[in-house]
């Protein structure tokens, strides 16, 4: 991984520090209902202040498409932000121009300000250089702490990093170090779990991983498509039968690169997709014609226990079954506990990411035991696909 500066490497004393953060939090009737993302930026804000800098926060909220939309104003975030930081937060009702200049000019060391939604301007998503320069004129340094937006080449994520001395915030720093430990320079052997409904949405991911990991576990509806490719009947299960040739090609490429692919060896099937549905566990090649595969079975979990025991690094993206409803969450829960145990005893570095994955690990009660869990969504997935993230590249160039 290329080098990047952090708060520790930068002279911030007396400078206004434009700080890109992720405040895209759930809001109901003007009230933040989950402040997790807000709480995660606190170390960055406090460390900038500790170094004598004055943090001025930049963020987007929702998708206003370059227009001012009152319901998407960041002003409604201010109370939750003040609660997390334990201090007043000045608010400017624009991120450029007079309103922003007046608020920034009134700040003193120890203060913090939040500027209005960057996406109220078309220049944000267009990475317009004039718009970026208008924001840059407000500060003397730039910190990006929003890895979750790093896959977008926007003015506040990429453009500003080209115009001011730039570095990574604490959250960005932790994310980049964790990802480097997982795929950049990992301890081997490496195992990746990729689950989800469709092969077609994760083709680039699978193609990239089979060249970088030693073991690839495929779960969820995706596994059914691979079973079809191997000539195994899957009944009424979700499967992309038109992708069978693509799945076969991935299996062949894995053989050529020395990556061992693991598919379910036993399955949990049901006739209906609902909580508490009658189910049975069968060998993988015995799915009844009128049934659906909704989870992997206990023998598959034992196989994964063996794989985890032989590996030093785990990357996890996607559940092994229909984890949202019982009893089809059992394989995901059991495998997650095995990974958590190995992480706790120091034998495994475990990195997970993606919305469903985070939800599944939380449901299994083991999220706190993993080495690192990314909440970055699209950026995490694009990183796993091997794509360059503009917001990261701008910090490392």
Which sequence positions are flagged as catalytic?
37, 198, 355, 378
Tell me which residue has tokens 């991935």.
250
Beta bridge partners of 19: 57, 143
CA angle 337, 368, 25 (to 5 degrees): 125
Task: Give the Cα separation of 212 and 216 in Å (integer).
Answer: 10
Q: Determine which helix (DSSP H) or strand (DSSP E) holds 373, and give its type and residue range.
A: strand 372-374
Is residue 329 exposed (0-12), middle (13-18) or buried (19+ Cβ within 10 Å)? buried
Non-local (6+) Cβ contacts of 389 within 8 A are 150, 151, 379, 382, 383
Runs of H (alpha helix) within the chain: 36-40, 42-50, 78-85, 97-105, 122-125, 129-136, 170-179, 203-209, 220-229, 244-257, 298-310, 330-344, 355-364, 378-384, 390-396
Give yes or no for a contact between 270 and 215, defined as CB atoms under 8 angstroms apart: no
Query: Tokens standing for 180?
Result: 């480097």
The residue length of the chain stands at 397
Cα distances from 46 to residues 7, 55, 61, 108, 144, in angstroms, run 11, 9, 23, 14, 14
Give yes or no for a contact between 270 and 278, defined as CB atoms under 8 angstroms apart: yes
Task: Give the Cα separation of 115 and 99 in Å (integer).
Answer: 9
Give yes or no for a contact between 207 and 259, defined as CB atoms under 8 angstroms apart: no
The verdict on whether omega for the bond into residue 59 sits within 30 degrees of 0, i.e. cis, is no
Cα distances from 267 to residues 164, 238, 293, 370, in angstroms, run 55, 13, 6, 26
Cα distances from 370 to residues 145, 314, 317, 330, in angstroms, run 21, 10, 13, 18
């Amino acid at each position: 991984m290329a080098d990047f500066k952090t708060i520790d490497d930068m002279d911030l004393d007396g400078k206004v520090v434009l700080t890109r953060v992720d405040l895209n939090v759930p809001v109901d009737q003007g009230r933040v209902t989950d402040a997790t993302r807000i709480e995660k930026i606190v170390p960055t804000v406090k460390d900038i202040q500790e170094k004598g800098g004055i943090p001025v926060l930049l963020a987007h909220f929702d998708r206003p498409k370059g227009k001012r939309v009152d319901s998407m104003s960041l002003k409604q975030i201010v109370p939750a932000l003040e609660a997390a930081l334990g201090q007043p937060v000045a608010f400017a009702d624009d991120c450029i121009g007079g309103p922003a200049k007046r608020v920034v000019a009134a700040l003193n060391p120890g203060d913090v300000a939040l500027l209005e939604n960057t996406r109220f301007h078309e220049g944000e998503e267009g990475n317009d250089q004039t718009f970026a320069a208008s924001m840059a004129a407000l500060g003397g340094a730039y910190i990006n702490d929003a890895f979750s937006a790093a896959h977008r080449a926007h003015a506040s994520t990429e453009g500003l990093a080209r115009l001011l001395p730039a570095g990574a915030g604490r959250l960005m720093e932790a994310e980049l170090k964790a990802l480097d430990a997982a795929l950049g320079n990992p301890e081997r052997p490496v195992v990746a779990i990729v689950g989800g409904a469709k092969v077609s949405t994760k083709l680039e991911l699978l193609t990239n991983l089979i060249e970088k990991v030693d073991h690839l576990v495929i779960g969820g509806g995706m596994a059914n498509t691979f079973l079809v490719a191997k000539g195994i009947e899957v009944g009424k299960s979700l499967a992309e039968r038109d992708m069978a040739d693509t799945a076969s090609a991935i299996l062949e490429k894995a053989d050529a690169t020395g990556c061992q692919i693991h598919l379910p060896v036993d399955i949990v099937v049901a006739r209906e997709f609902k909580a508490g549905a009658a189910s049975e566990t069968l060998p993988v090649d015995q799915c009844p014609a009128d049934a659906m595969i909704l989870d992997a079975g206990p023998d598959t979990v034992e196989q994964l226990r063996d794989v985890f025991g032989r590996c030093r690094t785990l990357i996890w993206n996607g559940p092994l079954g229909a984890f949202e409803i019982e009893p089809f969450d059992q394989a995901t829960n059991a495998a997650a506990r095995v990974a958590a145990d190995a992480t706790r005893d120091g034998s495994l570095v475990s990195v997970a990411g993606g919305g469903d994955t985070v939800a599944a690990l939380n449901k299994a009660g083991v999220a706190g035991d993993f080495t690192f869990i990314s909440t970055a969504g699209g950026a995490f997935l694009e990183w796993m696909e091997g794509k360059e993230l503009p917001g990261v590249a701008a910090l490392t160039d």
